[in-house]
Structure 1
Amino acid sequence: MGRSVSTEFEIDLGLSIALTEAGAWIIRADDREFRLEEINDFYRAWLLLEQPFSDVRAALDQIACNANAATPFPFAKLIGSALKAQSRQWTDRAMVWVPFLSTAEKASLKGLLSDVRDSKWASQKIRQLARKYVNEIERGDQDA
Structure 2
Amino acid sequence: MIDARSILSAISSDVSCKESIVHESGEKVKWYPILKCDPAGLLLGVEQEGKWVVEAKSCLYILSEAGSFWRLVSLLEQPLNDIRSEVAEVFNKSLDVSTNIDDIFPFTDIVRSGLEFGTKHWAEKAFEWYDELLPEKKQHLRDSLTKLETAKWASQKLRQKAKKELKRMDF
TM over 0.5: yes
CA distance in 2, matches of 1:104, 1:11: 26
Which structure shows the bigger proportion of residues in helix conformation? 1
My pick for the range that moved more, 106-115 or 9-18, is 9-18
Residue in structure 1 matched with residue 169 of structure 2 by the alignment: 137
Residue in structure 2 matched with residue 42 of structure 1 by the alignment: 69
Question: How far is the alpha carbon of 1:69 from its aligned partner?
Answer: 8.6
Residue in structure 1 matched with residue 32 of structure 2 by the alignment: 6
My pick for the range that moved more, 56-65 or 122-131, is 56-65
Question: Percent identity of the aligned residues?
Answer: 28
Over aligned residues, Cα RMSD in angstroms?
2.2
Matching residue within 32, 50, 54 for 1:23: 50
CA distance in 2, matches of 1:69, 1:88: 37
Q: Decide whether the 8 Å contact of 1:15 with 1:28 is kept in 2.
A: yes
**Pairs aligned (count):** 139
Residue in structure 2 matched with residue 142 of structure 1 by the alignment: none
Alignment of 1:1-144 (within 5 A): 1=21, 2-12=28-38, 14-65=41-92, 66=95, 68=97, 72-139=104-171
Question: How far is the alpha carbon of 1:107 from its aligned partner?
Answer: 1.0
CA distance in 1, matches of 2:152, 2:116: 14
My pick for the range that moved more, 73-82 or 8-17, is 8-17
* Amino acid aligned to 2:120: R
Question: How far is the alpha carbon of 1:126 from its aligned partner?
Answer: 1.7
CA distance in 2, matches of 1:21, 1:56: 22
Question: TM-score by structure 1 length?
Answer: 0.83
Unmatched runs of 5 consecutive residues or more in structure 1: 140-144
Q: Decide whether the 8 Å contact of 1:83 with 1:94 is kept in 2.
A: yes
Aligned-partner SS, 2:33: strand
CA distance in 2, matches of 1:68, 1:20: 15
Unmatched runs of 5 consecutive residues or more in structure 2: 1-20, 22-27
Question: TM-score by structure 2 length?
Answer: 0.71
CA distance in 2, matches of 1:59, 1:21: 21
Question: How far is the alpha carbon of 1:134 from its aligned partner?
Answer: 0.8
